Amino acid sequence: MIKVVCINMSEGINQNTHLLLENEPDIEVLEIERNTNNRTIFKKLEDFKPDIALIQLNKFTKSIKSKLKEIRESYSHISLMFMMSDVDVNVIRTAIDKEGRGFLVSTITGEGLVHSIRNVYDSQFVFSEAIAKQMIDIIGPKNIGNKEKLKQKLCSNGIDVSKRDMDVLYLMYKNYSNKEIANTLQLSEKTIRDYVSNAYKKVKNSNRKSVIEFLHYLMADD
């Protein structure tokens, strides 16, 4: 069971986020309203013992930063996710400085939110597309990791891939076998075979060697 505490820290943020999550069988939700005093927040955290804190905010104020610092110091095991009303570079930078693992915009769909929470629970970093684009502009294309670079190369060639497709294609690019991919992604080999088959369809090729050669060709094409 994934325990998620939703903490609303700003006006204008959707206060019904928990409604998008409460029907998920593997997610338990606790909501903490804005203006809840620190003592009550920490009592609820102590009783609930969340895995993830979903922080909903518009901006960082001194009091919010102080509150987050106390949460991180007292509950270092909790993964922080930030849901923002707008894509604000300064807010994103501060959220990253606060050791966040998820960075979302409040317009995210219920399905997208659930998927993001599960990924963060599995120790992955998650960025909404709008936020990811801002981060790419900040760090510059030369500093983008190989996985993101490969995804951009695929997209520029008209190949649209899901996050899991990208996980599989990148590991294929690194010459991982299906068994190694399954171990890395903690999925069954049968599931990986299905993803690999789908990856073949995406790049319109059914030969593994040719697919890998194509991926290397894309990465070399600068």
SS3 205: coil
- Contacts by 38-42 with C-beta closer than 8 Å and gap 24+? 38/67, 38/70, 41/7, 41/67, 41/71, 42/70, 42/71, 42/74
Q: Which of 199, 8, 9 is nearest to 18 (CA)?
A: 8
Task: Grade residue 2 by pLDDT with cuts at 50, 70 and 90.
Answer: very high
pLDDT reported for residue 140: 55
Domain boundaries, the chain: 2-138, 145-220
pTM (2 d.p.): 0.59
C-alpha torsion sign, points 42, 125, 94, 114: negative
The arrangement of secondary structure in 2-138, i.e. its CATH architecture, is: 3-Layer(aba) Sandwich (3.40)
| Better pLDDT: 51 or 74 | 51
Q: How far apart are the first and last CA of the chain?
A: 45
The per-residue pLDDT for 14 is: 54
At the topology level of CATH, where does 145-220 sit? Answer: Arc Repressor Mutant, subunit A (1.10.10)
Q: What is the mean pLDDT of the chain?
A: 83
Strand 27-32 to 2-8 pairing: parallel
Ramachandran angles phi, psi of 73, nearest 5°: -70, -35
What is the per-residue pLDDT for 143? 46
Q: What is the mean pLDDT of residues 194-217?
A: 87
Q: Note the helical H segments in the chain.
A: 17-21, 38-48, 62-74, 89-97, 110-121, 129-139, 146-156, 163-173, 178-185, 189-202, 208-220
Amino acid 139: pLDDT: 53
